[in-house]
Amino acid sequence: MKEYLPYTETLLPGVLGHETQEDANLALEQFSTLVQSGCSPHLKSFLCSVHFPKCVSGKAVSPCRTLCEQARASCEPLLNRFSFNWPENLKCEAFTTDSCEQVTKLDLMEDDQGGHHS
């Protein structure tokens, strides 16, 4: 899933503390069924930016709280239907509203079509 990110430089450990890309990939893959459900157009970009945060000036930039809230609002009811809760380590309150990365569905679509982001 991380191949959809509109940036190429990430920093580990990131927001969730994954030390290696392999660890981050394994954690991200746990959400593949939820992403494939299509519950939110924001879920993939949120999860990718959490597991593979953008690197700016040597620091990991976490995703914006609003991106988390958009994904959660759409997908949490589906999780609840199957007796799952929104993951504790992805609680939206933990993400900032300042100095954050707002990856959008448009960014992902442009990258799918060969768009370039700097």
Q: Could you give the CA distance from residue 96 to residue 75 in angstroms, rounded to a whole number?
A: 20
Preceding amide of 63 cis, omega within 30:
no
Task: Look up residue 27 and give its two tokens.
Answer: 């954690």
CA distance 15 to 49: 9
Model pTM? 0.79
User: Which residue intervals of 1-118 are DSSP H helices?
Assistant: 21-29, 32-36, 43-51, 65-81, 105-112
Return the percentage of the chain with pLDDT > 70, whole number: 80
pLDDT computed for residue 117 by the predictor: 34
Which SS3 state, helix, strand or coil, does residue 4 take? helix
Q: Hey, which CATH number is domain 2-111, 3.40.640.10, 1.10.645.10, 1.10.2000.10, 3.40.50.740?
A: 1.10.2000.10
pLDDT of residue 102: 66
CB atoms within 10 A of CB 114: 6
Q: For residue range 96-116, list pLDDT tens digits in order.
A: 887 676 665 444 444 343 333
- For residue 76, pLDDT over 70 is answered with yes
What residue spans define the domains of the chain? Answer: 2-111
Closest residue by Cα to residue 35 from 88, 110, 105: 105
